[in-house]
Amino acid sequence: MTGVDLSPAHHRAVAVAAQALGREFVALEPQRTWGPTVVVKLITRDGLTAFIKAGANQNVHTEAAVIHRAQTAGVRVVDVLATGTDDQLPGGRWMITRAADGQTLEDSGLAAPTIPRTLADLAEQYTRLHETTLPGRGQIAPDGSRATLDSWSQWQQQVLEEALVKLTQRNDVTATFAERARRLSHQFAANLDHAPAALLHADLGDREIYVDPSNGRVTALVDWGSALVGDPLYDLARLVGGGPADDPRPAQ
């Protein structure tokens, strides 16, 4: 493990994981993250590969509860090995998960000959996930039992407002444009609220889908920290429209 560059928070996460798993690590790899989040890949002497995650911007215990719900519905996810609290980690909560088998869809590639199997398998995973319902709409409550809002349009308007404030402050849009967007959002709120509600991954992209490169079978959907309760079409929109600026899919 020489040469591994770990911050104090990473070191603390490794110490917490060692105590929780009771295993010796032979390799550590800090992961690139956004915001106040710490993720470390851990490989143990007896061959287990796992990740410990802690974050101040997301409740990883809620994420663990969502993973359990998805797993109960038959969705292929990674196993949650342990959860706990530690004041020295971002957010004060941590979660350890087993690593997914296979490789990401990003690494496998959309041009792989196995992509038809992957897409069919992904549709099956979506179907199972979207058969899971919870009370409420929008972000999921800390205990994972329900969503925090009464309507899907409330969540959409909150997200829109946050985006418009940032865009206006940076002068990326005019105040007139922002006000028009707000009016349209309120005008079509009732249409949004007619949609059925289901458990959503809400951030599924090439890096969150793991596949078996030999046959294209989906082995796991990962990173459930953005999960919502809302319109199932939102998951499809995120998958098709997400990704980097040079992602060719939105133009297809």
Q: Provide the pLDDT for residue 102.
A: 97
Report domain extents, the chain: 8-98, 103-251
pLDDT tens, the chain, 252 aa long: 444 578 999 999 999 999 999 999 999 999 988 788 999 999 999 999 999 999 998 899 999 999 999 999 999 999 999 999 999 999 999 999 999 999 999 999 888 899 999 999 999 999 999 999 999 999 999 999 999 999 999 999 999 999 999 999 999 999 999 999 999 999 998 888 988 899 999 999 999 999 999 999 999 999 999 999 999 999 999 888 754 444 444 444
Predicted structure pTM score? 0.90
Q: Provide the pLDDT for residue 249.
A: 44
Q: Provide the pLDDT for residue 3.
A: 42
Q: Residue 106 and residue 29: Cα distance in Å, rounded?
A: 20
Task: Retrieve residue 104's tokens.
Answer: 């990401």
Q: Provide the pLDDT for residue 137.
A: 97
**Using an 8 Å Cβ cutoff, are 81 and 140 in contact?**
no
Q: Provide the pLDDT for residue 112.
A: 87
Q: Provide the pLDDT for residue 1.
A: 44
Beta bridge partners of 218: 211
Q: Provide the pLDDT for residue 37.
A: 93
Task: Retrieve residue 82's tokens.
Answer: 């342990």
Q: How far apart are the first and last CA of the chain?
A: 45
* Contacts of range 179-185, beta carbons closer than 8 Å, 24 or more positions apart: 182/157, 185/153, 185/156, 185/157, 185/160
Count the alpha carbons within 13 Å of 72 in the hemisphere toward its beta carbon.
10
CATH of 103-251, picked from 3.40.50.300, 3.30.30.60, 3.90.700.10, 3.90.1200.10, is 3.90.1200.10
Task: Retrieve residue 28's tokens.
Answer: 């550590």
Count the alpha carbons within 13 Å of 84 in the hemisphere toward its beta carbon.
16
Q: Residue 104 and residue 58: Cα distance in Å, rounded?
A: 23
Q: Of 170, 179, 246, 232, which Cα lies nearest the Cα of 202?
A: 232
Which residue blocks in the chain are alpha helix, DSSP H? 8-21, 60-72, 105-108, 115-130, 152-169, 175-187, 189-193, 233-241
Q: Provide the pLDDT for residue 4.
A: 55
Q: Provide the pLDDT for residue 242.
A: 58
Q: Provide the pLDDT for residue 240.
A: 81
**CATH T-level assignment (fold) for domain 8-98:** Phosphorylase Kinase; domain 1 (3.30.200)
Q: Of 155, 188, 232, which Cα lies nearest the Cα of 163?
A: 155
Q: In what order do the strands lie in the sheet with 209-211?
A: 103-104, 209-211, 218-221
Q: Of 124, 148, 128, 127, which Cα lies nearest the Cα of 136?
A: 148
